[in-house]
Chain A
Amino acid sequence: MKKLFFLIATTFALCSCNIDEEFTIESPKIILDNESGIYSTKVGSSITISPRYENAENAIFTWSINDSVIATTPTLQFCSNALGEFYISIQVETEVGEEKREIRVDVVEVEIPIVSLANAEKGFVLALNTEIKFTALVRETSLPTTYSWQLNGEVVSNSLSYTFLAKELGDYTLVFEAKNEDGADKIETKIEVVEFAPASWYFEKTDYQLVAGRIIEVGPTETQNLENANFCYKIGENIVQEGTQQTWMCNLTQVGKHEVTVTAKVVQGDKIETLTQAINVNVISSNELHYRAKTENSSADWNKVYEYTPAPGQFINELKTGGFDGNQTTPQAAIAYAEARLSSNNWVSLGGFGGYIVVGFDHSIDNTGGYDFGVLGNSFSGSSEPGIVWVMQDENGDGLPNDNWYELRGSETGKESTIQNYAVTYYRPNGEQMSVQWTDNQGNSGEIDYLKTFHNQDFYYPNWINKNSYTLRGTRLEARNYDKSGNGSNWILPEYEWGYADNFSSTDCTLTNNKANRFDIANAIDANGNSVELDFIDFVKVQTAVNTKSGWLGEVSTEVLGFFDYSMTKE
């Protein structure tokens, strides 16, 4: 650093001290108002950079970008309508010297909050004297944000949640708004309060196939306001089941096609509402099954992925550790992704509860009386993320997994805490980098958390699912994860005894590899929970079994790395 020395005498004429002193007038010095030298501003917004200067009397200030002068003042007002990093130099020059520093201004996007509300598009119909709790989802920003709920224009809450009481009949407009200094976003939904909420049902399928001698569950997949309805299943005029049980455990044995009519009647005040649906059941003989024997060219490994439909999760659409490349925007591309991953012994994440993958083999897998096939996961002690395993025979011989799934019994089957026909609906968030809301068929709701620090892809909601919401169904196990540390730092995911994929089981992990769980086809059960005899199977499905998350680790999600015919292994 340049230094000049001057003997100053006159300056100190008034000084009580009579000793002449030697003073140094130093070169100017720049002390930035941001220690890192890296500033940040929003696109289109002005930022003032105000360094502090020492020894800068009568200095010349020069701010420049790429040697082009942009200002000659001590402070700089900088604004850009383009995103990016701008390198700016500030030079301070006096008659005794100069100093130059370079700073960086990062021009970033504005942080307008984005809001989502599950089912907002569809609206809500409520019966009189009932209530509903709304919880909005707001994209996190670094700015203080305020919330407001307005019911027919009147502010009724300033928190993220609002509980609406259906006290009077009529139509209501509910608006949620989030606002910060960068902007605001709002979402609107309609609420209709009626005397009696309308009854409705949904059938995932109405054409069934049944192998004579087995049982399948037929009927509506979802119902609304039919809790007290009378359901009547008829074949022709013959009533096969009647009562409040919504589905029918169909056990027809006569080979051929059967037309079933199901009617639901519900009394609402002095009205009776009736719903009717036709169902077809095609009963086939077990002699018609299409067994595909092994050949010398058969492979022990899975040979095809038929479907990959994960729940939202931190590894879904993820470009680094998840192995996606951004082109997985169709179900076919998602299948290709899953096949490529499994082919390279890499994991495929099924996301939160219900996410699943369906694979097949180049031959039927025999029910050998012991373990018949294996599923590779990535569990280890204290880290089990169980998946329910389902099996299917290619009953109609068309080579596609469009027949009946049978769950494989596990250690939790039949327990009170295990829920069959559990369903979770996931809702696409309205903006990037947001959590994903879900509701289940037990009246619960929650979020798959967006973990920006670790997985910052735009969406955790699968890019190849076009609908703005989708429902995943299956069997739900009670979660066992817990925080061992007590402060949220050390999450343990204990194993389950046996019968699940991606589970560090001391019972069914293979002898040579504790990452592979083995499964016995003889554990197949029907919808009643009774054993079903399957001599072989053709397809395997694994479905994430728990609906839980572990603090900063995020949602618990089953991962699979492969499927194999155990009878063809060396073990």
Chain B
Amino acid sequence: MPYKIKILLSVFFASFFLAGCMEWEYGLEEDFAASGEGLFITNEGNFQYGNASLSYYDPETKTIENEIFYRANAMKLGDVAQSMIIRDGIGWVVVNNSHVVFAIDINTFKEVGRITNLTSPRYMHFISDEKAYITQIWDNRIFIVNPKRYEITGYIDCPNMTTESGSTEQMVQYGKYVFVNCWSYQNRILKIDTETDKVVDELTVGIQPTSLVMDCNNKLWTVTDGGYEGSPYGHEAPSLYRIDAETFQIEQQFRFTFGDAPSEVQLNGTKDKIYWINNDIWEMDVTADYLPIKPFLPYQETIYYGLTICPRTGDVYVADAIDYCQQGKIYRYSKDGELIDEFYVGIIPGAFCWK
């Protein structure tokens, strides 16, 4: 992905102090009552610009509400909204460069709590009501938190990582084990025993596994991006891996063409199809023996940046970062690839969370 980092992570900011007319700077708390099904979209915003935002889409009415965190709380979400998960009516919004996870009511969007003093949080995973893991980048520890008390309660040390090369990302759980992919300048999947909070095993895959899911057959799927030209960590043809969660062994490696940069492995609701971005949007049965050669959705000369599948309808939602500066766009397709809706959200929409 490396566009010049400065541009990729930064840019666009509203009319600064000349403008006292920032759209949401009225400092009033707006009341929401978003009952029913819906889709949250975390918009990263530009690194160090504090313009991350949260959007909410109602698939039934095809309505989008942007900046819902600010509007509901009269407070900015922060810098680089990375991901979100929901547990028992509470949404946990991970705001990477604000070092915080906000807990919000998923119907009113109002803050109900926050976990602070995180290094550089990326994703959150619940082990129980009173224990969750939060992965980090530029930190070789996974933080253990008590969500009920919004407290950091401990750390999981990740082997063979320095603070600078530390990178833990997405988590999936199989039995008492949590698996986590290590992406930035890494090439491993870690296996963590949730009873001891220790890394008990690791599996080497290709360079930079970007994402991690587990299908209906308890197979883990990760896709590597292969690094990039000139990377000191190397550059290779990326691969999609199917890993058996029980044995923690690679069952199959599907190799892409050198120069490809796939990312964002996602599952449909029945967890029998995986999707990913590799310029185009791709779809494959989890039992397939080889990679598809025709994309599900062809590349549109833009920047596909996020992907999710509606667990109920199978609709495919694609986030378009456009140019990393202007408001991003979401395209909603049917499971047959027909465009159903499109709408603008915040800057750099990167992750989704189904209510």
Write the residues of chain A forming the contact surface with B, with a CB cutoff of 8 angstroms.
Answer: 32, 35-38, 40, 87, 101-104, 300-301, 314-315, 319-323, 344-347, 349, 376, 378-381, 383, 385, 451-455, 484-485, 487-490, 493, 510, 512-513, 515-516, 551-554, 559, 561, 564, 569-571
| Closest chain B CB from A87 CB (angstroms) | 7
Residues of chain B contacted by A489 (CB below 8 angstroms): 185, 231-233
What would 5 A/B residue contacts be, using CB atoms closer than 8 Å?
A38-B293, A345-B14, A383-B5, A385-B6, A561-B11
Whether A315 pairs with B7 at a CB distance below 8 angstroms is yes
Q: Is the CB of A320 within 8 A of B257?
A: no
Contact with A along B10-49 (1 / 0, CB 8 A): 1111111110100000000000000000000000000111
- Contact partner of A347 (CB less than 8 A), chosen from B14, B48, B302, B325, is B325
How many angstroms between the C-alpha atoms of A269 and B235 in the bound complex? Answer: 58
State whether B323 touches A36 (Cβ < 8 A).
Answer: no
In the complex, what residues of B have CB within 8 A of residue A38's CB? 257, 293
- Which residues of chain B from 48 to 90 have any CB-CB distance to chain A below 8 Å in the complex? 48-49
Q: Is the CB of A87 within 8 A of B294?
A: yes
Q: Considering the chains assembled together, what is the distance between the CA atoms of A512 and B233 in angstroms?
A: 39
Is the CB of B174 closer than 8 A to any CB of chain A?
Answer: no
Mark contacts of B270-297 with chain A using CB atoms, 8 A cut-off: 1 yes-contact digit, 0 otherwise. Answer: 0000000000000000000011011000
CB distance from A189 to the nearest CB of B (A): 30
**B2 proximity list for chain A (CB < 8 A):** 453-454, 552-553
Residues of B within 8 A of A37 (CB): 290-291, 293
Known: A320-B303, A487-B232, A569-B18. A346 touches B164 (CB 8 A): no
Let me know if B254 is at the binding interface, CB within 8 A. yes
Given contacts A37-B290, A488-B232, A551-B230, A347 and B7 within 8 Å (CB-CB): yes
Known: A347-B11, A489-B233. A454 touches B3 (CB 8 A): yes
Chain A interface, >50% SS class? loop
Minimum C-beta distance from B17 to chain A (A): 5
The 7 closest A-B pairs by CB, nearest first: A487-B232, A380-B48, A552-B230, A488-B232, A104-B293, A513-B16, A378-B10
Chain A positions within 8 Å of B323 at CB level? 320-323
- Taking A35-B255, A510-B17 as contacts, is the C-beta distance between A454 and B10 under 8 angstroms? no
- Bound Cα distance from A321 to B254, whole angstroms: 31
- Determine if B11 and A378 form an interchain contact, defined as CB atoms under 8 angstroms apart: yes
Further contacts, 17 of them, CB under 8 A, given A38-B293, A315-B7, A569-B18: A35-B255, A36-B257, A300-B18, A321-B3, A321-B7, A323-B323, A346-B325, A376-B16, A385-B6, A451-B229, A453-B261, A489-B185, A493-B6, A513-B13, A513-B16, A551-B230, A552-B230
User: Chain A contacts of B7 at CB under 8 A?
Assistant: 315, 321, 347, 349, 378, 559
* Interchain nearest-CB distance for A49 vs B (Å): 13
Closest to A455 in B: B3
The interface residues of chain A lying within 8 Å CB-to-CB of B303 are 320-321
Q: Which residue of B lies closest to A490 (CB)?
A: B164
- Asked whether any CB of chain A lies closer than 8 Å to the CB of B256, the reply is yes
Which of B10, B13, B256, B301 lies in contact with A36, CB distance below 8 A? Answer: B256
Query: In the complex the two chains form, is B290's CB within 8 Å of A453's CB?
Result: no
Q: A554-B4, A559-B6 are contacts. A345–B20 as well, Cβ < 8 Å?
A: no
Residues on B with C-beta less than 8 A from A485 are 164, 232
- B-side binding surface: helix, strand, loop or mixed? loop
B198-229 interface bits toward A, Cβ cutoff 8 Å, 1 = contact, 0 = none: 00000000000000000000000000000011
Interchain nearest-CB distance for A559 vs B (Å) = 7
User: For residue A323, which residues in chain B have a CB less than 8 angstroms away from its CB?
Assistant: 323, 325
- Chain A residues closer than 8 Å to B17, beta-carbon distance: 510, 512-513, 569-571
Determine whether B324 belongs to the interface, using a CB cutoff of 8 Å to chain A: yes
Query: Measured between alpha carbons, how far is A23 from B231 in the docked complex, in Å?
Result: 52
Residues of B within 8 A of A385 (CB): 6
Chain B 176-193 near chain A by CB (<8 Å), digits 1 or 0: 000000000100000000
Q: Once the chains bind, are B18 and A515 in contact (CB under 8 Å)?
A: no
Total B residues in contact with A, Cβ cutoff 8 Å: 45
Select which of A103, A484, A510, A552 is within 8 A of B229 by beta carbon: A552
Specify the chain A residue showing the minimal Cβ separation from B184. Answer: A489
Which B-chain residue is minimally distant from A349 (CB atoms)? B7
Question: Closest chain A residue to B255 by CB distance?
Answer: A35
Known: A35-B254, A102-B293, A347-B325. A380 touches B47 (CB 8 A): yes
Q: Roughly how many angstroms separate A516 CA and B17 CA in the complex, as a whole number?
A: 10
* A179–chain B nearest beta-carbon distance, Å: 23
- A554: chain B residues within 8 A (beta carbon): 4
A488 partner residues in chain B, CB cutoff 8 A: 230-232
Point out the residues of chain B lying under 8 angstroms from A104, CB to CB.
293-294
Whether B291 and A36, one on each chain, are in contact in the complex, defined by CB atoms closer than 8 angstroms, is yes
B230 — which chain A residues lie within 8 A by C-beta?
453, 488, 551-552
Which among B8, B48, B294 has the greatest number of chain A C-beta atoms within 10 A? B48
Smallest beta-carbon distance A551→chain B, Å: 7
Does B290 lie within 8 Å of A35, measured CB to CB?
A: yes
Closest to A319 in B: B301
Closest to A502 in B: B6
Q: Is the CB of A512 within 8 A of B291?
A: no
A101 to B5, CA, bound (A): 42
B6 pairs with A453, CB closer than 8 A: no
Shortest distance in angstroms between B239's beta carbon and chain A's nearest beta carbon? 10
A539 to chain B, nearest CB (A): 20
Distance in Å from the Cβ of B285 to the closest Cβ of chain A?
A: 15
Q: Give complex CA distance A379, B20 in Å.
A: 22
Query: A513 vs B232: C-alpha distance in the bound complex, in angstroms?
Result: 35
Cα distance A487–B162 when bound, in Å?
Answer: 14
Supposing A347-B325, A490-B164 touch, asked if A453 and B293 sit within 8 A by C-beta, the answer is no
B302, A320: Cβ atoms closer than 8 Å: yes
| Residue from B5, B49, B256, B261 with most neighbouring chain A CB atoms (10 Å) | B5
- Do the beta carbons of A570 and B20 come within 8 Å of each other? yes
Contacting residues, chain B, for A315 (C-beta < 8 A): 4, 7
Q: Is B185's CB under 8 angstroms from A453's CB?
A: no
| Cα A21 to Cα B155 with chains together (Å) | 59
Shortest distance between the CB of B73 and any CB in chain A (Å)? 21
Task: State the Cβ distance, B222 to closest chain A Cβ, in Å.
Answer: 17
Q: Which residues of B contact A380 (CB under 8 A)?
A: 6, 10, 47-48
- Which chain A residues lie closer than 8 Å to B164 at the CB level? 484-485, 490
Q: How far is the CA of A103 from the CA of B292 in the complex (A)?
A: 9
Interface 0/1 of B86-115, CB less than 8 Å to A: 000000000000000000000000000000
Closest to A483 in B: B232
Q: How far is the CA of A36 from the CA of B238 in the complex (A)?
A: 11
* B5 x A512 contact (CB < 8 A): no
Q: Which residues of B contact A378 (CB under 8 A)?
A: 6-7, 10-11
Complexed CA–CA distance, A554 and B228 (Å): 13
Q: Which residues of B contact A553 (CB under 8 A)?
A: 2, 4-6
Q: Known A87-B293, A488-B230, A559-B7; judge A345-B15 contact (CB<8 A).
A: yes
CB proximity of B10 to chain A, nearest CB, Å:
5
Q: Which residue of B lies closest to A552 (CB)?
A: B230
CA distance A378 to B51 in the complex (A): 14
Q: Are B18 and A36 in contact (CB under 8 A)?
A: no
* Distance A516 CA – B14 CA, assembled complex (angstroms): 12
Partner of B12 from the list A319, A346, A551, A552 (CB cut-off 8 Å) is A346
- CB nearest neighbor in A for B46: A378
Query: Please, how many angstroms separate the alpha-carbon atoms of A35 and B233 in the complex?
Result: 25
A537 to chain B, nearest CB (A): 19
